[in-house]
A and B are shown apart, each in its own frame.
Chain A
Amino acid sequence: MEDVYDLRSLLFGIADKTVTKLLTGTPLESQIETISFGLGTFVIVNVVFLMLFFSQFAILWIERKWCARMQDRRGATTALRSLWVGENGQTAGEWWNMLPFGAGKPVGMLNGWLNKNFGNSDERAMVDRVGNRSWMGLPILPGFFQNVADGMKFLLKEHMVPQRADKLIFEVSPFLIVSTTLLILGLIPLSSGIYATNPELSILYIIAIFGIAPIGVFFAGWSSNNKYTLIGGIRSAAQLTSYEIPLLLTLLSVSIITGTFNIIESIHFQHSAGAWNIFLMPLGGALFLLTMIAEVERVPFDMPEAEAELVEGWWTEYGGMRFGMLFMAEYIRTYAACFLFAHFFLGGWHLPFQGTIGSIGFLGLGSLYLLIPGAVVTLVKAWLVFLVVFVMARFALARIRTDQILEFGWRVLLPLSVLQVVLAVIYRLWLFDPTAVSDSVAGGMAWNAFGIPHFVPIATTVFWLALFFLMLRDEDKDASPERMFHVQTMQPAGKHIPGQE
């Protein structure tokens, strides 16, 4: 369903009016349509790009705060919860009392309540050491503008090229990586009314662009003339070839289910058919996330930049703003992966239960629900995917080895993605009811079976969840007691009589 806020037609309308007014009666009158289209496109592309680019600050902030929470850190990068809620009855500075006119009093009361009920019951005072920490930025978002400071630091650093590096390729490859990464942002819609461009085969296009950066990585690794970067670049190439194929097959199954190669149409389909794709293909969602983590080279699949053995992998030799840009490109790719997951599997800009709640007529509640901007929904979904999957995986897991990741890619992910394609074909051909597709507010009911509404997504989700929990249980400690979890001492603990061996 179309989002209520159609920024695109608004901007194009303004451009059209302005250009018509200015150019009527001039020699350019015949070109009015072209010029107004060009102007409108220029404006919308910039607006969308800036929205996507600057909302990226949020994910850096989310990662910083969440990993601080997971790692139980103290100091300048303390978790947000520790700053606000505090630990052990102490907060790190009652900032709300600094606000004028007592405006922060409710915050203080809320914090007191949270602190009392959900504060850490650690026996040691934790925050007392944090009390004199410093943090940057507004009191309300501590640490948010740290990234700006980091960027300034990178800008001021010297740019150094290794003496025996292949200087041309060394200079070109970061631009190859960064520019193709920025192109990805152009393809990502924020809502049906806010997107930069919408080519017919945008899924294919976005995958093609995703595949260019690895070439830049390989160039960078080779041209630095350093053994670590060389190994990092080769690892990156090996990893990406083994992970692109499952990724492409997963996206193919998305296209088969939704019947289109266009991102926006595939999002529309999820509403008009009645179920988000994650409920039709949970396996595909998991495969997509796994391959995307490998594609953007984050823990646990970050061997190309494994800092323990390869120092910093293929970007060891880059310094200053080149390093900063490569780092930014990595985060943009991660962010794009989150958006793509939200679009392909979580219904894009559609709200949860949009059809059901949106069609409530009582007091106009349904229409109120639909007033929530689609761009906000998309952003929140992307941030949540980033938080729940990317950040938590990064700070809970260790790094896997190269041969293991390749084996995992070829022997596990590839067969599973082929299975997903077959499943998608079966779903589309035999379980899908094309007559019940409807682009109304209530949405369609295309996945009914046996007379039960939404039977297909419900049954699929229950099946895969059951399988997941079964496999989780099967991974038990009794299977190999001598290897798992507890070392067996020669004599059981506590049986020792002092003084006797």
Chain B
Amino acid sequence: MAQMWITMGPQHPMTHGLWTLRVKVDGETIVDTDAELGYIHRGVEKICEDRDFTQITPYCDRLCYVSAMTWANSYIYAAEDLLEAEVPERAEFIRLISAELQRLASHLMWLGAFGPDIGSLTLMTWCMRDREMFLDLLQELGGSRMHYNYPRIGGVKRDIPVGFATRMIAKIKLFEKRIEEYEMLLDESTIWLVRLQGVGYTKAEDMVEAGVSGPNVRAAGVNYDVRWAHPYSVYDQVDWEPAVEKPTSVKGADCYDRYRVRMEEMRQSSKMILDAIEKIPGGKNTNYSAGDEMIMTKAPTRAPEGATGFSNYECTRGASQFYIKGGGEGRGKNPYRLSIRSPMFITIPYVAKTMIGYKIADIPAIMGSFDPCIGETDR
């Protein structure tokens, strides 16, 4: 059969966003691929140069529409590094809890989108149902469902509400049972296994060289989690461990490994949240008023010229990094420069090349298993 190029995207169910994957197929087999990114480039880094440090937070929320809290936190740590702000312990715990709740919601969104990729529609509705629990919790913190604008330089916007801990523990306990339900639906199904196992092999060395990070490399046996390797916040005070899949093949990790590692990561996040809410300083059922020194300290608003801030943060899709340069008096409260390192911007072109040799039907399975998010990719 003659070879032909198929353009998948920008509007295509496989893309999980807005990008184009051009594949050259020989019958059903992929012989070449080409990823085209940049459809929703908004110039966030440039916009941020004209905003003061507090105003940047909502823009960082909007970097990724399913994982806003982790991206906002990521920025906040860089800004705190730049402005040398002190953060109260309680605020760090609240940030940890909010980030892990966001990780659960984001992984559920991934699983819910991955199910229809493989053909399981039920998975979508189940995951959306459970994600709603965590969106409700995050809404209690930030006031909205997707873009919270919750963390502040030097703390968090407001304390956890009264009763939040009880509701959260009940929901997490319920969710831990739900994970087992998912596994009954998926791991017990031979079709699910034959669609994922042995498909989309990626080698650990190749991924590390390309700069892929997060669950995608942990699936290949690389024990690298920023939260574990370079603990920021209070991740060294709570009980958890990174989910790392034991390598099963010399060819590297397949889609099933990547699926498993995220399921395990959801378990670990649940465990972490349950532990953190017990260890939170000041008690889990007290509510400090906004601006109280338990949750917020006064931070400087102007950065000296030449000062730099950097954060290395484990987002839901890998290591996100912020680099901010202060501008001195001439820039006022604004930074001189801000750059963002997005894990998916590195991953997507890499994944596009790993598809070569597999079938057309494997494209959504491989692409979905890497959990693409185009908001952060195009920035």
Residues of A within 8 A of B (CB): 67, 70-74, 122-124, 227-228, 231, 299-300, 302-303, 306-311, 394-404, 475, 482-491, 493-496, 498-499, 501
Complex Cα spacing A231 to B244, Å: 38
Could you list 23 A-B pairs, sorted by A, with CB under 8 Å? Answer: A71-B124, A123-B170, A124-B171, A124-B174, A231-B360, A300-B191, A307-B116, A308-B14, A309-B361, A395-B121, A397-B119, A399-B120, A401-B195, A402-B361, A483-B197, A486-B264, A487-B243, A487-B245, A488-B246, A490-B244, A490-B246, A493-B267, A496-B239
Residue in chain B with minimal CB distance to A303: B361
Say yes or no: is B378 at the interface (Cβ < 8 Å to chain A).
no
Interface SS majority for chain A? loop
B263 close to A (CB within 8 Å): yes
**Across the two chains, which residue of chain B brings its CB closest to A475?**
B190
Q: How near does chain B come to A373, taking the closest CB pair, in angstroms?
A: 36
- Cβ of A299 and Cβ of B263 under 8 Å apart? no
A398-B120 contact in complex given A303-B361, A483-B197, A498-B237, C-beta closer than 8 Å = yes
Chain B residues numbered 88-118 whose CB sits less than 8 Å from any CB in chain A:
115-118
Among A73, A397, A475, find the residue whose CB has the most chain B CB atoms closer than 10 A: A397
**Candidates A308, A485, A495; contact of B13 at CB < 8 Å:** A308
Q: Which residues of B contact A300 (CB under 8 A)?
A: 119, 191
A487 touching B119 in the complex, CB below 8 Å, given contacts A227-B6, A496-B239 = no
Nearest CB to that of B247 among chain A residues?
A482
Query: Are the CB atoms of B243 and A396 closer together than 8 Å?
Result: no
Find out whether the CB atom of A309 lies under 8 angstroms from the CB atom of B185: no
Chain B, residues 164-200, CB within 8 Å of chain A (1/0): the string is 0000001100100000000101110111101101000
| CA of A397 to CA of B194, assembled, Å | 12
- 7 nearest A-B residue pairs (beta carbon): A399-B119, A71-B125, A308-B364, A398-B120, A398-B118, A487-B260, A398-B119
- Contact at A403–B170, with CB atoms within 8 Å? no
Closest residue of B by beta carbon distance from A399: B119
Q: Assess A400 versus B239: contact at CB under 8 Å? Given A299-B119, A300-B119, A489-B264.
A: no
> Given B187, B264, B363, which contacts A309 in the complex, CB threshold below 8 Å?
B363
A401 touches B361 (CB 8 A): yes
Interface of B is mostly: helix
Check B361–A397 contact: CB distance below 8 A. Answer: no
Report Cα–Cα, A482/B373, bound state, in Å. 29
Indicate which residue in B28, B119, B122, B240 contacts A70 across the interface (CB closer than 8 Å).
Answer: B122
B12 interface contact, C-beta 8 A: yes
Contact B6 A401 (CB under 8 A): no
Of residues 311 through 348 on chain B, the ones whose CB sits less than 8 Å from some CB of chain A are none
CB contacts (< 8 Å) of B192 on chain A: these are: 398
Distance (whole angstroms) from the CB of A349 to the closest CB of chain B: 34
Q: In the complex, A439 Cα to B79 Cα: how many Å?
A: 88
A482 with B195: in contact, given A72-B129, A395-B122, A397-B189 (CB under 8 Å)? no
Tell me if A498 and B236 are in contact (CB < 8 A). Answer: yes
Judge if B126 is at the interface, Cβ distance under 8 Å.
Answer: yes
Q: A309-B361, A482-B248, A487-B264 are in contact. Are A227 and B4 (CB under 8 A)?
A: yes
CB A88 to nearest CB in B, in angstroms, measures 12
Docked-complex contact A306 and B4, CB < 8 angstroms? no
- Interface contact B187-A306, CB-CB below 8 Å: no
Contact indicator B244/A489 (Cβ below 8 Å) = yes
Q: Is the CB of A498 within 8 A of B264?
A: no
Q: A399–B118 contact, CB under 8 A?
A: yes
Shortest CB–CB separation between residue B261 and chain A, in angstroms? 6
Are B194 and A400 interface neighbours, CB within 8 A? Answer: yes
B126 and A72: CB pair below 8 A? Answer: yes
How far apart are B242's CB and chain A's nearest CB, in angstroms?
7
Question: A224 to B238, alpha carbons, bound, how many Å?
Answer: 58
Q: How far is the CB of A342 from chain B (nearest CB, A)?
A: 26
- Please, which residues of chain B bring their CB within 8 A of the CB of A67? 121-122
Is residue B241 within 8 Å, beta carbon to beta carbon, of the partner chain?
yes
Q: How far is the CA of A396 from the CA of B268 in the complex (A)?
A: 27
Tell whether B256 is near chain A: CB-to-CB under 8 Å. Answer: yes
CB distance from A356 to the nearest CB of B (A): 38
Assuming the A-B contacts A308-B13, A494-B239, are A501 and B228 also in contact, with contact meaning beta carbons closer than 8 angstroms in the complex?
yes
Given contacts A71-B121, A483-B256, A309 and B364 within 8 Å (CB-CB):
yes
CA distance A72 to B260 in the complex (A): 24
- Residue ID in chain B nearest A492 by CB atoms: B241
What are the interface flags for B224-265 relative to A under an 8 Å C-beta threshold, 1 for contact and 0 otherwise? 000011000000111111111110100000001100110110
Bound-state CA distance A58–B137 (Å) is 40
The CA-CA distance from A424 to B300 in the complex, in Å, is 87
For residue B359, CB closer than 8 A to chain A, the reply is yes
* Closest residue on chain B to residue A484 by CB atoms: B187
